[in-house]
Structure 1
Amino acid sequence: MSSVRVRAAGAVLWRTGPGGIEVAVAHRPRYDDWSLPKGKLDSGETLPAAAVREIAEETGFRAHLGRHLRTVRYSVAAGPKSVDYYSAAAVSGAFEPNEEVDELRWLAPAEAAGLLSYDSDRSVLEDFGALPASLTTLLLVRHAKAGKRDEWRGDDDLRPLSPSGIRQAAALRALLPLFGPDRVVAAPRLRCEQTVRGVADDLGVPVEHEDLMAEEHYWDDRDAGLARLLALVSVGGTPVVCSQGGVIPDLVTRLATRDGVRLPVDEGEKVPSKKGSVWVLSFRAAPGNGGPQLVAADYLPTALPTPATSQV
């Protein structure tokens, strides 16, 4: 007999207060406990979308996601359950008591750890505190599906998205804003521009072309390509960069090797870069004039919804 795995998402919601970083701890009257904001996925919802929605419903705050912190697993009546936690910066809003949460406290991380009811939440908070709260995020996107190259008779630069690629681009248009992007850059390929054009339109910004994110230009000078990506990070904000499968694995590998970051792939496996996927790359300023330093790398293999329950 199969069991049901319940999917849920949550976050360490943080802000900068008068005394430094504060995190939100919620009291749930139903359980009489203190916990981090979290909840089950709705049908047709991604994990990041569920995390942002649950933050809004439980705390009243709009948030932008950062790095993935950890996945917590435990059993409930319906079967095994997993909760994916993210770092999330509070952007705006105010708390009002509601059916799920009747009290919200903003506390220094050490105070929050003492109030939380569960060891698993304290472990998530410990992961949050292992790096600075304020990091720069770059969203490195592989263009969506565009059919087979050998079946396209025109200029390959003008090969458009396929119907399935258009669906992937629509999913990215919903997913990427959860991380608070403010700039959109793409390799000068129609399929790359089409993949992120919806995000740019919603932000009211242009899609900037970057030759060094195209395969042939990147491999002509890999160091220049890496330097260009780091220059985009140095500007600040949260850039979206859409590139190709011949660029992304090498870029991510070189960054991780340079800065000693362990990637979420098995040893010996190639760094993945599926069409329509996203690498969420988190950077901090290096001491001195060393430029941005990669400190975390999370891979989202698809922007399409995650099943709220799955048979295992």
Structure 2
Amino acid sequence: MADEVRPVIRAAGAVLRDGDLVAVVHRPRYDDWSLPKGKLDRGEAAPAAAVREVFEETGFRAVLGPYLKAVRYAVDGVPKVVDYYAADVVAGSFAPNEEVDELRWLSPAEAAGLVSRDEDRSVLAAFTALPGGLRTLLLVRHAKAGKREHWSGDDDLRPLSAAGWRQAEALRGVLPLWGAARVHAAPRLRCEQTVRAVADDLGVAVRSEPALSEEGYWPDRDAAVARVARLLEEDGGVPVVSSQGGVIPDLVEALAALGGVALEEGRTPSKKGSAWVLSFRPGAPGWSTSDPVSRWPRLAAAHYLPTALGKPLS
């Protein structure tokens, strides 16, 4: 008889920052001090759960930053995995509630001294290891568009399949959690369709990015990396870029090499409907006119989101 598959409790949380201070909450049910966190709802993705739990426990709306780490421990013998993100306060105020009766804003060092669990201290250590002033770019692989051999028209016009539209709808709900504000896509219908709903919700157009298509990228990879740097320097918030599987792994590896970032498990996956959350140090002012490569924004952290679709929970 095959071994019984043990259930895993999935949860998500955040180091919620307001300026130089972070939030620590007291949970009367456990009489402990903790970082805001909670279990995923059925079908919910971890980033969405992190933002929801922060709001429910603290009353603050938050925008996500870099992924920090996964914490693993057991609850009554059942494995539990908690994914943590950095997050910044956008709006809101705290009021005592059923889950949390007190919130304190502390320096990260003070927070590490107050929290009850060593796991939370390890998350705070990952948070403090990040440089300040990071900027985010969301690099998305277009959603499913059916098989090329089953499409008789121009491949640039191959549209999303029914499964692809479901992936695009899931991305619509997740990408704004990082403060998505501008939307760009390689000149492929499937790339544009993948992020069109995000653009519609934001009230912006999807801007074409020929340098980030497969035929534009490979003849001049440096120009593509420079285009990413330009997107980061533009005003207007976090850019979303929808591109292709023939571009994304190499582009992420190039950015990681420039920034000296070790990728998770040394891999650069790029499933359809997935995204890379890329966090950059700001570039030096005027980098385009003097020694541009050395003055580009530098990648500081990279996290792969294999799907925005939440998995059913047992």
- Interval of TM-score (by shorter of Structure 1 and Structure 2): over 0.9
Tell me the SS of whatever aligns to 2:218.
helix
Report what 1:291 is aligned to.
296
- After the TM superposition, which residues 142-221 of structure 1 pair with which residues of structure 2 at under 5 Å, given as runs? 142-221=141-220
CA distance in structure 2 between the partners assigned to 1:249 and 1:201 by the alignment = 28
- Is the contact between residue 3 and residue 78 of structure 1 (CA under 8 Å) also seen in structure 2? no
- Label 1:248 to 1:2 Cα distance change in 2 as closer, same or farther (>3 A): closer
Give the Å deviation of 1:34. Answer: 0.7
Give the Å deviation of 1:3. Answer: 2.3
Higher relative contact order (CA 8 A, sep 6+): 1
Give the Å deviation of 1:287. Answer: 5.9
Tell me the SS of whatever aligns to 2:11.
strand
Give the Å deviation of 1:132. Answer: 2.8
- After the TM superposition, which residues 101-120 of structure 1 pair with which residues of structure 2 at under 5 Å, given as runs? 101-120=100-119
Q: Which runs of 5+ in 1 are unaligned?
A: none
- Label 1:2 to 1:219 Cα distance change in 2 as closer, same or farther (>3 A): closer
Give the Å deviation of 1:197. Answer: 0.3
- Give the total of aligned pairs: 302
CA distance in structure 2 between the partners assigned to 1:150 and 1:227 by the alignment = 34
Give the partner amino acid of 1:260.
G
| Correspondence for 2:305 among 292, 296, 300 | 300
| Correspondence for 1:8 among 6, 11, 32 | 11
CA distance in structure 2 between the partners assigned to 1:63 and 1:225 by the alignment = 31
Tell me the SS of whatever aligns to 1:88.
strand
Q: CA RMSD in A?
A: 1.3
Q: Which runs of 5+ in 2 are unaligned?
A: 288-294
- Is the contact between residue 6 and residue 78 of structure 1 (CA under 8 Å) also seen in structure 2? no
Give the Å deviation of 1:286. Answer: 4.7
CA distance in structure 2 between the partners assigned to 1:307 and 1:238 by the alignment = 30
CA distance in structure 2 between the partners assigned to 1:264 and 1:297 by the alignment = 8
Tell me the SS of whatever aligns to 1:220.
coil
Q: TM-score, normalised by structure 2?
A: 0.93
CA distance in structure 1 between the partners assigned to 2:6 and 2:245 by the alignment = 37
Query: Residues 60-112 of structure 1: CA distance to partner in whole angstroms, max 9, x if unpaired?
Result: 01111111101100000261101000001111110010000011111111111
- Is the contact between residue 234 and residue 291 of structure 1 (CA under 8 Å) also seen in structure 2? no
Give the partner amino acid of 1:265.
E
- Is the contact between residue 24 and residue 105 of structure 2 (CA under 8 Å) also seen in structure 1? yes
Report what 1:90 is aligned to.
89
Report what 2:252 is aligned to.
252
Give the partner amino acid of 1:6.
I
Give the Å deviation of 1:245. Answer: 0.5
Whether 1:280 aligns to 2:242 is no
Report what 2:138 is aligned to.
139
Tell me the SS of whatever aligns to 1:182.
strand
Q: TM-score, normalised by structure 1?
A: 0.94
- Is the contact between residue 284 and residue 297 of structure 2 (CA under 8 Å) also seen in structure 1? no
Whether 1:46 aligns to 2:45 is yes
Give the Å deviation of 1:153. Answer: 1.1
CA distance in structure 1 between the partners assigned to 2:133 and 2:258 by the alignment = 21
CA distance in structure 2 between the partners assigned to 1:151 and 1:306 by the alignment = 29
Query: Residues 207-249 of structure 1: CA distance to partner in whole angstroms, max 9, x if unpaired?
Result: 1111111110111211101100111012252100000011101
CA distance in structure 1 between the partners assigned to 2:23 and 2:16 by the alignment = 6
Give the Å deviation of 1:188. Answer: 1.0
Report what 2:291 is aligned to.
none
